[in-house]
Amino acid sequence: MAKLIIVSNRLPVKLQEKEGKMTYKPSEGGLATGLGSIYKKDDNLWIGWPGMVVENPEKQQQIAVDLHDENMHPVFLTETEIREFYEGFSNETLWPTFHYFSQYAVYDQQLWETYVAVNQKYCDVILEQAEPEDTIWIHDYQLLLLASMLRERLPDATIGFFLHIPFPSYEVFRLLPWRKEILDGMVGADLVGFHTYDDMRHFLSSVNRILGHGSMHGWINMGSRSLLVDSFPMGIDYDKYAEIADSDEVKKREKVYRNNLSDQKIVLSIDRLDYSKGIPQRLRAFELFLEQYPEFHEKVTLVMLVVPSRDAVEKYKELKEEVDELVGRINGRYSRITWNPIQYFYRSYPIETLSAFYRMADVALVTPMRDGMNLVCKEYVASKHNDPGVLILSEMAGASKELSEAILINPNDINQVVASMHKALTMPEEEQKACMSRMQESLKRYNIHHWVGIYMDRLNYVKIKQMSMATS
């Protein structure tokens, strides 16, 4: 029977070694939850890096056996591959370019060559596991070349690709020295999916101008075969977030946190440490808010959770220092014995703590400079039930296309961000609830299961359509 193979840079578990014993910690990421019910079914399989460098072949063998029982299969990467493929080309070349920070992009032939070699490594591992009629669904910017590598060896396979980050405009994409090779890699898929219509439009424009293939209604005609490009805005596991937020455990935590911040309006900010998330810009806007609205002193607290990320990459180290310094400066300037304007946490928390933060936040301040989608803002809305709350959301996040009841802002416009904070903190409760419930309705419906369902349906449709095109 044909099976589905999901491929992503990382497996949905994190491998750890404690006192010589291997442990497998499940990932709580949106993708893992969304695809969880599918990859565990029948002979389906998830292929990816288990999150730890393992060099000993016997250990590798043992890990493969352990993972096999959970419908997973490992791709092992060396220290050098992690440095050059993951930290290097993926996160120092592609990530900044695709997020419109091309001034941060490193163009290094060695990093590119390792990127090609690692994509080939994933391809080889998949070929050991795949049958010609299997469906293969590849995820994200670390594996842009994989679809064509697989297509060469499995010409009739059904191959999907989904990009979780933005696809930049042609004017930015064309800066990459390997722009042609990257597009050649992506068009090997039958269906290329993006979060938004704009990402899709940018991709089609680059394919047209760099590869010379035009398109009609999202179909790219490559001569010998055709592929479809479409947008699929990713949802969250709505019920999971709503249920956790309603649990006694979370309510208890919220009460404890609230007691320590009594009489305070809470503005919440949660992201991975990343320059695309606009953390320093958000802090500067909060500082200006305190300057312009002294009546809010001792009445508002910014609870800011920053999750450590990619700390081996230079730009991220610099950003950490900048954020530390800004928080220190603002707290130094405005703190009282009884009030710290910013409560700053640089660590990751269990989902129950996150949920308690969502519940107690009067305002969620989600202001990325660029974001493929952004799930934090959706999780905030899902955690609110019938409670009031206001979402301030950047226009540059994919999610802004769906959440039009949020207060939408341009994160570069500091005055607008300040005004939006004031508006949010003074908005009548009825208005808050009305906006919240409209967003909840839409997120409940277009949840992660819906996303997986429509992507898979569309992929099947493409295969059927291709067959009818070939015979007509």
Footprint of ligand GDG on this chain (CB under 6 A)?
Answer: 28, 30, 164-165, 234, 270, 272, 307, 348-351, 354, 371-376, 379
Catalytic residue among 164, 213, 449, 450: 164
| Nearer CB in complex with ligand GDG: 30/341 | 30
**Edge-to-edge strand list for the sheet holding 215-216:** 72-74, 45-49, 4-10, 135-139, 158-162, 191-194, 226-231, 219-221, 215-216
| Nearer CB in complex with ligand GDG: 144/270 | 270
Report, in Å, the least distance between residue 431 CB and ligand GDG.
26
Contact 436, 381 (CB under 8 A): yes
| Nearer CB in complex with ligand GDG: 173/289 | 173
**Phi, psi torsion values for 305, nearest 5 degrees:** -105, 120
Question: For residue 193, which amino acid is it?
Answer: G
243-250 long-range contacts, CB within 8 A, separation 24+: 244/351, 244/352, 244/355, 244/383, 245/355, 245/358, 245/359, 245/382, 245/383, 245/384, 245/385, 246/385, 247/352, 247/355, 249/352, 250/352, 250/355, 250/356, 250/359
Report, in Å, the least distance between residue 172 CB and ligand GDG.
17
Report, in Å, the least distance between residue 386 CB and ligand GDG.
22
Alpha carbons 454 and 449: distance in angstroms, whole number:
9
The alpha carbon dihedral of 455, 457, 461, 463 has a sign of: positive
**DSSP-assigned letters across all residues of 43-62:** T-EEEEE-SS----HHHHHH
Burial of 261 (0-12, 13-18, 19+ CB in 10 A): middle
Cα 78 → chain centroid:
25
Active site residue 371: yes
Report, in Å, the least distance between residue 89 CB and ligand GDG.
17
What's the distance, Cα to Cα, between the start and end of the chain in Å? 28
| Nearer CB in complex with ligand GDG: 272/463 | 272
Catalytic residue among 199, 237, 362, 371: 371
From the list 364, 322, 324, 314, the residue with the least C-alpha distance to 345 is: 324
Report, in Å, the least distance between residue 371 CB and ligand GDG.
4
Helix (H, G, I), strand (E, B), or coil: what is residue 195? Answer: coil
Catalytic site positions = 164, 371
